[in-house]
Amino acid sequence: MHIRYFGLVLVSVFVFSFNAFAQDVNSETRKFNKMLSLIDAMYVDSVELDELVEVAIINMLKDLDPHSVYISAEEVEKMKEPLEGSFEGIGVQFRIMDDTLLIVGVISGGPSEKVGIMTGDRIIVVDDENIAGVGIDNTGVAKRLRGKKGTVVKVEILRRGENSPLVFNITRDVIPIYSIDASYITEDKVGYIKLNKFARTTKQELDSVFSIFVKAGVKNIILDLTGNTGGYLDKAVSLCDEFIQNDKLIVYTEGAKMPRTDYKSTKEGRFYKGKLVVIVDEGSASASEIVSGALQDWDRAVIVGRRTFGKGLVQREMPLTDGSAVRLTIARYYTPTGRLIQKPYADGYDEYADDISERFLHGEFLSKDSIVFADSLKYETLIYKKTVYGGGGIMPDDFIPIDTTLRSDYHIELIRKGVLFNFVSKYVDSNREDLKNKYPDIETFKKKFEVNQLVLNELKDAAIEEKINVDSLIPATNEQMKYLQIHLKALIAGDIWRNNEFWMIYNDINPFFLRAEEIINDDKLYDSLLKGK
User: Could you tell me the CATH number of the domain that includes residue 107?
Assistant: 2.30.42.10
Tell me if 21 is assigned to some domain: no
Whether 400 has a pLDDT exceeding 60, the answer reads yes
Q: What is the mean pLDDT of residues 326-330?
A: 91
Answer yes or no: do 311 and 383 share one domain. yes
pLDDT(76) > 60? yes
Question: CA–CA separation, 110 vs 81, rounded Å?
Answer: 17
pLDDT of residue 54: 86
Q: Look at residue 524 and tell me if it is in a domain.
A: no
Q: Which residues contact 135 (CB under 8 A, 6 or more apart)?
A: 99
Give the confidence band of 5 by pLDDT, cuts at 50, 70, 90: very low
Highest mean pLDDT, choosing among 102-116, 161-175, 380-394: 380-394
* Contact call for residues 68 and 327 (beta carbons, < 8 A): yes
3-class SS letters over 387-446: EEECCCCCCCCEECCCCCCCCCHHHHHHHHCCHHHHHHHHHHHHHHHHHHHHCCCHHHHH
The domain boundary residue, chosen from 344, 370, 404: 404
Check residue 25 and give its pLDDT.
65
How many distinct structural domains can be found in the chain? 3
Same domain as 384, residue 303: yes
Within a domain: residue 40? Answer: no
Q: What is the pLDDT confidence band of residue 308, given thresholds at 50, 70 and 90? A: very high
**One domain for residues 310 and 365:** yes
Of 336, 280, 274, 265, the closest CA to residue 300 belongs to: 274
In a domain, 5, yes or no: no
Residues 500-512, mean pLDDT to the nearest whole number: 96
Structural domain contains residue 390: yes
Q: Is residue 327 part of a domain?
A: yes
Per-residue confidence band for 505, with pLDDT thresholds at 50, 70 and 90: very high
Residues 235-258: what's their mean pLDDT? 95
pLDDT score for 371: 80
Residues 419, 444: one domain?
A: yes
pLDDT at 391: 85
How high is the pLDDT of residue 85? 65
One domain for residues 164 and 189: no
Handedness of CA 161, 167, 170, 176 (dihedral sign): positive
Distance between CA atoms of residues 400 and 279, nearest Å: 10
Mean pLDDT of 465-473: 91
d(CA 119, CA 104) in angstroms, rounded, equals 5
What does the pLDDT average to over 331-359? Answer: 88
Running DSSP on this structure, what letter comes out for residue 267? S
pLDDT of the residue at 63: 85
3-state secondary structure of 97: strand
Q: Check whether residue 469 and residue 352 sit in a common domain.
A: no
3-state helix, strand, coil in the chain (%, to 5): 45, 20, 35
The closest of 168, 173, 172, 192 to 182, measured between CA atoms, is 192
Report d(CA 107, CA 87) in Å as an integer. Answer: 13
Listed range (6-15, 458-467, 491-500) with the worst mean pLDDT: 6-15
> Confidence band (pLDDT; 50, 70, 90) for 81?
low
Say yes or no: 163 and 225 in one domain: no
Whether residue 283 is found in the same domain as residue 306 = yes
Q: Are the C-beta atoms of residues 245 and 265 closer than 8 Å to each other?
A: yes
Answer whether residue 369 shows pLDDT above 60: yes
* 33 located within any domain: no
The more confident residue out of 104 and 404 is 404
- Of 369, 404, 439, the residue at which a domain comes to its end is 404
Same domain, 248 and 133: no
- Of 528, 246, 181, the C-alpha closest to 386 is 528
Give the pLDDT band of residue 108 (cuts 50, 70, 90): low
Q: Taking the chain, what is the end-to-end CA distance rounded to the nearest angstrom?
A: 60
Statement to judge: residues 231 and 373 lie in one domain: yes
Q: Which helix (H) or strand (E) holds 259?
A: strand 258-264
Q: What is the mean pLDDT of residues 134-156?
A: 87
Tens digit of pLDDT for each residue in 34-71? 888 898 888 888 888 888 888 888 888 888 888 888 88
Candidate from 60-74, 173-187, 216-230, 456-470 with smallest mean pLDDT: 60-74
Average pLDDT, the chain: 88
Q: Percentage of the chain with pLDDT > 70?
A: 93
pLDDT, tens only, 14-41:
444 445 445 566 778 888 888 888 988 8
Q: How confident is the model at residue 88 (pLDDT cuts 50, 70, 90)?
A: confident
Residues 107 and 166 occupy one common structural domain? yes
DSSP alpha helix (H) spans, 98-215: 111-115, 138-145, 202-215
Residue, of 238 and 86, whose pLDDT is higher: 238
Mean pLDDT of 187-194: 97
Who has greater pLDDT, 311 or 353? Answer: 311
Mean pLDDT, residues 338-359: 85
> What's the whole-model pTM score?
0.84
pLDDT score for 477: 95
User: What pLDDT is attached to residue 11?
Assistant: 42
> Letter for the amino acid at 403?
D
Containing structural domain, residue 138: 86-176
Q: 384, 404, 424 — which closes off a domain? A: 404
319/266 same-domain check: yes
Q: Is there a domain that residue 153 lies in?
A: yes
Residue 395's CATH number: 3.90.226.10
Residue 312 has pLDDT above 80, yes or no: yes
In 153-257, which ranges are continuous DSSP H helix?
Answer: 202-215, 233-241
- Is pLDDT of 406 > 80? yes
Highest-confidence segment of 99-103, 352-356, 387-391: 387-391
